[in-house]
Structure 1
Amino acid sequence: MGTELTIIHVIYMIFVLGIIGFMVMRRDTTLVCIIGIFTIAVFSTFSISQSVSSLFNSFIYAIVELLPTILVISIIVAMSRLLTTTGINEVMISPFARVIRGPGFAFWTIGIVMMMISFFFWPSPAVALIGAVLLPVALRAGLPALGVAMAMNLFGHGIALSGDFIIQAAPKLTSDAAGLPVGEVIQASIPLVIVMGAVTTVTAYIFLRRDLKKGVHFPDLAINGEEKIEKETFLSNRSKRFFSLFIPILFGLDVYLMFQLNLQGGDATALVGGTALIILLFISVAAHKQKSLEQSTKYLIEGFQFGFIVFGPVIPIAAFFYLGDAGFQSIIGEYLPESSQGIVNDLGAALASIVPLTPEVGAITVTSVGVLTGLDGSGFSGISLAGSIAQLFAAAIGTDAATLTALGQVAAIWVGGGTIIPWALIPAAAICKIDPFELARRNILPVAIGLVVTTIVAIILL
């Protein structure tokens, strides 16, 4: 593949393995990530002062990349606190509470609804829409917040995003890289997406049910007694009923506008966030009247406090992994070889160039490349490489290029799109007020089992 590996690539890979090891051992990785950034900067620039500056630059880069997610989560949390304080939340969830009974029904209902919405608008706005309404219902049904986050995460950022059958951004990138029609890649991905989704979600649910039966404690992010929100009578029952209808209508209008204006990804998230902000201000005025100016600010502050408390531990690890992709040049500078496609892409290409060319090894290698390139937390950054490597193997061994391409796409997005990389799955973790690292740990084994089974199925289909 003509990829030139350097000492920077080696150091990056050593720290990646170290970070994964610390995460598995349930240890904090902030210090490891900061040391990793500094070490890579030193070996890139050979300048202590520039390396020290790179630490700060890496945090700025990570915050800028994560800021839209931080904002929408903070606003949704602020709105949710207002709805809970005024009692509107109780009225809103009462119809769902009568239908959704039991943790199992809650898990699968939330997951399937999440998947259907994510097919059309991608997962991030879907998390905001579903979490605000169905999270309290699921908690009442006995499903812990971690289980809610798992359902939204695996069905949305996993199944829906890895297939991407409606928007087709993912299959377009992989098919272009492999030189195939997008329809062929979509067709080939259907059985793989089904197998990966079924194995992973069923496995995750089995583990969750086992722990529920054992009475395992599921920790959440109870910050400064935040879970104990005092309800006060600011609104009449009639006003509460009005707002309980008004809010779903506004979010329903968002869905309609997403369809009509073809809004996806960040645009759809911005629409949902802006709507939540309008709801927050409107209800704050109705509930607090003369004190609405101060109270609306108070709710926003509480939302932002929560947002940054959740994102605080994630920013250093995100800063490190952004070095593996486009962030390297912005953070450290032009110190990689001219032929470099980014550290993780270079490592993936190098891996593909040293393995024997057989269908079985080809499938395993494409999965490995997908997993490796997904480590930067953006499932889309590495799928072009996965597509090109799939095309290389298919041409060399005379096998089905579309299936190999689809396999690389599924692996890259399940890992990097937001199921086991902590900062990529923050939307679900933050809405559910759980530790994103705990959610990542819960997802690792089911996702790993799913990838193994899906790779075996792909080998059979080749």
Structure 2
Amino acid sequence: MSVTLTSVHWLFLFWVFVVIVVMGLRKDPLVPCILGLLTVGWLFKHSFVASISVVYNALIVAGTEFWGIIVVISLIVALSKLLSETGADYLVMSPAARLMVNPDVAFWVLGITMLLASWFFWPSPATALIGAIMFPVAVRAGLPVMGAAMAMNLFGHGIGLSTDYVIQGAPTITAKAAGFADPSPVISASIPLIITMGLVTTVTAYLMIKKDMRKNPEALKAEQDALMAKEVKRELNWVSYFLAVATPVAFALDVIAMWMLHLTGGDATALLGGTATLILAVGTIFKFGVDGLEKITDYIRDGFMFGIKVFAPVVIIGGFFFLGKGELAKTILSAPEATGFLEDFGVALSQAVPLNKVFVALVSLATGIVVGLDGSGFSPLPLVGSVAATLSSALTVDKATLAALGQIAGVWTGGGTIIPWGLIPVAAITGVNPIELARRNFIPVVLGFIATTIIAILIM
């Protein structure tokens, strides 16, 4: 198969490089994406008026692809606010908090609880939940404040967000851009990679924390004393206990149903979203009675404000990079003869340059890291998915593994583990300096990237 690269292809590639440079400078790439859509559409359609329609079509196509994820995340954030107001979150977390009897156990219990909460409630809401309830307990058990912040960050915004196995937001975006019908291939391919990444980063961080505890026991004692007086009092009633039992049981049943009925992608998302909505509705009425008819609107509004805030830029970025995929490009350009520009470059690259697994793995890793420097864990996903599709068409490698590697690199960087401007949620909750937290995370995450890339090369 051969392709002819036209001026439209080269113009699209130019804007891809502009977007990457802008993200590398920690600036939002929305204007370059919009200008890219406008100019590529103009050159392809030979009509300025038609090119304006291309910009809008791209946003509609991307919004349609992402809408299911936006809705489910918004609903779960709304539910998390209800759980927090009723004190049900405290009841859910109390058993895990009681397990933290010493700093060693506290690190792993805090981290694993953060991971589970991130899978079901997403990292930002989970950070507030875990930070308010379990963080003080972990510090009182002897874990340094910085160690607790590292545990929450690496397990939540690292492992949790880069896998997103329950809500499936991250793998859905990556899979769409890579050309998969559903996120299952990316999820499956990510398992050995995230096991490697997770073990290397968390074990390294744990060893670093143990070393700090031996070096400065006085500072640790001061941190414990400062938290001893900060006891949180909560008003609990039967609604609190009802939600504390019903919520985890309902989501556990969802997971069982997904496994037994082989639900993935949109079906799994629909099950989670419907469950969250029903619990939110019932819990709000139980808590507020007739006033719940008004109160649920506040929860829904807050949830969707969060979801739209996170995904609004991703829709525009995704709309631009979806020009790289043939099927989506046809819809965006309203042209049956359109081809995916990045797919064409992949074919041309395979004919012109000898590629190997090491090269394509490093390109995928570097793309995720560089694009993730803007501080958004999801901004890199449309590009890393498109790059995986492009490189896999140029060389016989497993596209899903390549996409999963780029996803891990992008989320661990932009989602907030090694750049200070992405660490604000955890830093604010724990009271640590985000620059210092980024510095402490740097060695574990870089070692994790190296080990994960090696594994990806071996299994591709």
Question: Retained in 2: the 8 A contact 1:371–1:415?
Answer: yes
Q: Quick one: which of 348, 351, 354 aligns to 1:350?
A: 348
Shift in alpha-carbon separation, 1:303–1:159, aligned structure 2, 3 A = closer
Matching residue's letter, 2:358: I
Shift in alpha-carbon separation, 1:264–1:89, aligned structure 2, 3 A = same
C-alpha displacement of 1:274: 0.8
Q: Within 2, Cα distance between the matches of 1:36 and 1:207?
A: 45
Matching residue's letter, 2:288: H
Query: Where in structure 2 are the equivalents of 1:75-154 lying within 5 Å?
Result: 75-99=75-99, 104-105=107-108, 108-110=111-113, 127=122, 131=126, 140=136, 141=138, 148=152, 151-152=155-156, 154=158
Query: Where in structure 2 are the equivalents of 1:278-427 lying within 5 Å?
Result: 278-325=278-325, 326-334=327-335, 340=339, 342-356=340-354, 361-367=355-361, 377=382, 389-391=394-396, 405-406=397-398, 408-416=399-407, 419-420=410-411
Q: Within 1, Cα distance between the matches of 2:53 and 2:164?
A: 39
Question: Retained in 2: the 8 A contact 1:376–1:416?
Answer: yes
Once the two structures are aligned, what percentage of the paired residues are identical?
32
SS in 1 for 2:324: coil
TM-score (norm 1): 0.66
Shift in alpha-carbon separation, 1:384–1:285, aligned structure 2, 3 A = same
Q: Within 2, Cα distance between the matches of 1:190 and 1:109?
A: 16
Shift in alpha-carbon separation, 1:150–1:299, aligned structure 2, 3 A = same
Q: Within 1, Cα distance between the matches of 2:210 and 2:33?
A: 34
Deviations 1:247-305 (A, max 9, x none): 21111211221222121222112111111111111111111112111111221122112
Matching residue's letter, 2:341: I
Q: Within 2, Cα distance between the matches of 1:410 and 1:267?
A: 23
Q: What is the match of residue 262 of structure 1?
A: 262
Shift in alpha-carbon separation, 1:414–1:145, aligned structure 2, 3 A = farther
Question: Retained in 2: the 8 A contact 1:352–1:365?
Answer: no
Matching residue's letter, 2:293: L
SS in 1 for 2:353: coil
Matching residue's letter, 1:262: H
Q: Within 2, Cα distance between the matches of 1:419 and 1:200?
A: 16
Shift in alpha-carbon separation, 1:258–1:131, aligned structure 2, 3 A = farther
C-alpha displacement of 1:189: 9.7
Shift in alpha-carbon separation, 1:300–1:157, aligned structure 2, 3 A = closer
Tell me the matched-pair count: 387
Q: Within 1, Cα distance between the matches of 2:2 and 2:34?
A: 31
Shift in alpha-carbon separation, 1:192–1:53, aligned structure 2, 3 A = closer
Deviations 1:128-167 (A, max 9, x none): 9x94976755655557889756534643575798xx9xxx
C-alpha displacement of 1:8: 2.1
Question: Retained in 1: the 8 A contact 2:384–2:407?
Answer: yes
Q: Within 2, Cα distance between the matches of 1:456 and 1:64?
A: 36
Shift in alpha-carbon separation, 1:207–1:318, aligned structure 2, 3 A = farther
Q: Within 1, Cα distance between the matches of 2:331 and 2:296?
A: 37
SS in 1 for 2:356: helix
Deviations 1:96-116 (A, max 9, x none): 2233586843575258759xx
The 10-residue stretch of structure 1 (321-330 or 373-382) with the greater mean CA deviation from structure 2: 373-382
C-alpha displacement of 1:61: 1.4
Gaps of 5+ in 2: 139-144, 169-173, 216-231, 369-379, 417-421, 427-433
Q: Within 2, Cα distance between the matches of 1:52 and 1:203?
A: 51
Query: Where in structure 2 are the equivalents of 1:176-187 lying within 5 Å?
Result: none
Q: Within 2, Cα distance between the matches of 1:192 and 1:261?
A: 26
Matching residue's letter, 2:271: L
Q: Within 2, Cα distance between the matches of 1:450 and 1:146?
A: 15
Question: Retained in 2: the 8 A contact 1:153–1:418?
Answer: no
Shift in alpha-carbon separation, 1:273–1:423, aligned structure 2, 3 A = farther
Question: Retained in 1: the 8 A contact 2:343–2:393?
Answer: no
Question: Retained in 2: the 8 A contact 1:352–1:369?
Answer: no
Q: Within 2, Cα distance between the matches of 1:301 and 1:21?
A: 35
C-alpha displacement of 1:419: 3.7
Matching residue's letter, 2:244: S
Q: What is the match of residue 277 of structure 1?
A: 277
Matching residue's letter, 2:50: Q
Query: Where in structure 2 are the equivalents of 1:135-284 lying within 5 Å?
Result: 140=136, 141=138, 148=152, 151-152=155-156, 154-155=158-159, 198=199, 236-284=236-284
Question: Retained in 1: the 8 A contact 2:193–2:405?
Answer: no
Gaps of 5+ in 1: 115-122, 165-169, 177-181, 214-229, 392-404
Q: Within 1, Cα distance between the matches of 2:63 and 2:97?
A: 37
Matching residue's letter, 1:255: V
